[in-house]
Amino acid sequence: MDSNEVKSYKQAGVVWAKAIKYAQKKAKENILLFDLAEGVEKLIVDEGAKIGFPVNLSINEQAAHFTPKFKDTITLKESDVLKVDIGVAVDGFICDGAITINLDNKHAKQIEANELALSNAISVAKLGEPVERMGAIIEKTLKEKGFNPIYNLGGHGVSKNNIHDWPSVPNHAGGSSDKLKEGIAVAIEPFASSGVGEISEDVSVEIFSFIERKGVRNPIAKQILNMLDKYEGRPFAERWIRKELEGKTSEFNISMALKELMRIKAIHPYNGLKEVKGVTVTQVEKTILINDAKTIVLGE
């Protein structure tokens, strides 16, 4: 990893830390999740960076891939367990990180267990160490505190304009025998569950990524494809598309265009991921660099 790449990753971490602090300050009872997401993303752009992926605001049993709809009216309740997952890109190099907010503090023990699991995982994330070791210590830490990891979710490598790269980092023992290599960035992402620790796909889809340009007859679909170049391959939100096309076409036409693009596999949908209703999911995440045989934690 050359010095310019390291500089870009570190700068992304600086902006990520500012975005997280903004979210912590603004996440008050009755705030519209739409306003919170838009505010975080505006801060990232105002800081001279780019949005790594749409801000994920997942509540209670929701684990990941939830971002507000355009002009969504959902508000934050005091009892909600809100996961704020933010990605910041500088020159394409991404810092990916998350916190959990619970205004009434009734789930403080679960959040603390998750934070300890992340800290313990980072402590063993060193050049040449097996990736599996991070997963094993995450599982051990959470179980000792009375919670389960989410077994079918985990961390991942990040690279230029690529939010899901090698290696895959499980939140449990077992799995890959791969070892951490020089010159990589890895998002370590423990998810803790008050339930059995297994997520499934929700029917809702608000986040997508570009796969490849294909011929389409639908004029709105063509227009959307032309809009995607500016995201440089990073995920985008349906609300971004609706915001840009507001007043230019109907919401129905936009929905039909997105369905057409999914059907022909020009874009990939990221369905919401959730535990069963009544279960609480917490998440914390930080991105590390393995460079010059050192472990650098971004955003600190």
In terms of domains, do 206 and 193 share one? no
**pLDDT of 181:** 96
H or E element, residue 138:
helix 131-144
Residue type, 152: N
Distances (CA, A) of 82 to 100, 230, 283, 286: 6, 29, 9, 17
In terms of domains, do 185 and 247 share one? no
**pLDDT of 177:** 83
**pLDDT of 175:** 74
Q: Please count the structural domains in the chain.
A: 2
In terms of domains, do 247 and 286 share one? no
pTM higher than the cut 0.95: yes
In terms of domains, do 102 and 240 share one? no
Residue-by-residue DSSP string for 82-136:
EEEEEEEEETTEEEEEEEEEETT-TTHHHHHHHHHHHHHHHHT--TT-BHHHHHH
In terms of domains, do 146 and 214 share one? no
In terms of domains, do 185 and 256 share one? no
H or E element, residue 36:
helix 33-46
In terms of domains, do 122 and 38 share one? yes
Residue-by-residue DSSP string for 162-224:
EEEEEEEEESSSSS---B--TTEEEEE--EEESSSS--EEEEEEEEEEE--------HHHHHH
Write the CATH number for 235. Answer: 1.10.10.10
**pLDDT of 247:** 95
Provide the 3-class DSSP secondary structure of residue 240: helix
Beta strands 286-291; 200-210: pairing state: unpaired
In terms of domains, do 192 and 265 share one? no
Write the CATH number for 53. Answer: 3.90.230.10
Please give the positions annotated as active site: 85, 96, 156, 164, 189, 285
**pLDDT by position in tens, the chain (length 300):** 999 999 999 999 999 999 999 999 999 999 999 999 999 999 999 999 999 999 999 999 999 999 999 999 999 999 999 999 999 999 999 999 999 999 999 999 999 999 999 999 999 999 999 999 999 999 999 999 999 999 999 999 999 999 999 999 999 998 778 999 999 999 999 999 999 999 999 999 999 999 999 999 999 999 999 999 999 999 999 999 999 999 999 999 999 999 999 999 999 999 999 999 999 999 999 999 999 999 999 999
In terms of domains, do 194 and 206 share one? no
In terms of domains, do 259 and 174 share one? no
**pLDDT of 176:** 76
Domain hosting 213: range is 202-272
